[in-house]
């Protein structure tokens, strides 16, 4: 017997579906300050690439350092640099948008959309435009939003904020879990 949707619970829109994926990707972040996820999707809503913020390769993440009980797990903290100082060279992390762009390559980025949990910084905004992303859909704002928005706009990138209230996201997740639990009881 096919499972039916609970009454009054519409399925996720394509935007909600892709943003929930970006949120899930963000949970892999190794940063103790911001956990950011990014998805690049094509016109058929297929994920072309994804990325989260954190160090590349074999560099230990700040969250791993914190789990080991280090008093100052953040590389910037160790260097005495405020978190909001950009391009200090102390942070070992790569931004989620950068990781998604690197993995997609220019051919995988051009003409596609990027879903990102937090609005891109200025450097990522430059890279997003340079790689041909046509639209950025974000969930939360970022302190540098005005300058980054200007960069994206000048490059012809459409920008919009997705309204995904916590209760709506929870409703979508509950629908899944309710369905799974209903099947396990059968």
Whole-number Cα distances in Å, 20 to 74, 84, 96, 106, 113: 27, 27, 15, 24, 15
- Show which residues are catalytic: 97
CA 114, chain centre distance (Å): 9
Edge-to-edge strand list for the sheet holding 47-52: 47-52, 37-41, 113-118, 135-140, 158-161
DSSP bridge partners of 47: 41
Tokens 């096919």 belong to which residue?
2
Q: Is the Cβ–Cβ distance between 8 and 89 less than 8 Å?
A: no
Locus of tokens 């509950």: 174
CA distance 101 to 2: 39
The Cα–Cα gap between 92 and 90 comes to 6
How far apart, in whole angstroms, are the C-alpha atoms of residue 94 and residue 35? 12
């Amino acid at each position: 017997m096919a499972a039916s949707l609970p009454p009054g619970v519409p399925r996720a829109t394509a935007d909600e579906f892709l943003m929930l994926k970006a949120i899930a990707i963000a949970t892999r972040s190794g940063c103790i300050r911001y956990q950011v996820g990014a998805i690049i999707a094509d016109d058929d809503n297929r994920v072309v690439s994804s990325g989260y913020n954190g160090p590349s390769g074999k560099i230990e993440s700040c969250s791993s350092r914190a789990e080991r009980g280090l008093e100052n797990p953040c590389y910037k903290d160790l260097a005495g640099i405020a978190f909001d100082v950009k391009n200090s060279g102390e942070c070992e992390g790569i931004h989620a948008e950068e990781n998604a762009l690197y993995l997609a390559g220019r051919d995988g980025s051009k003409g596609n959309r990027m879903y990102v949990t937090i609005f891109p910084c200025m450097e990522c905004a430059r890279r997003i435009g340079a790689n041909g992303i046509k639209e950025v859909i974000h969930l939360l704002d970022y302190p540098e939003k005005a300058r980054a928005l200007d960069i994206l706009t000048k490059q012809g990138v459409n920008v919009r904020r997705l309204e995904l209230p916590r209760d709506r996201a929870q409703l979508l997740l509950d629908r899944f879990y309710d369905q799974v639990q209903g099947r396990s009881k059968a």
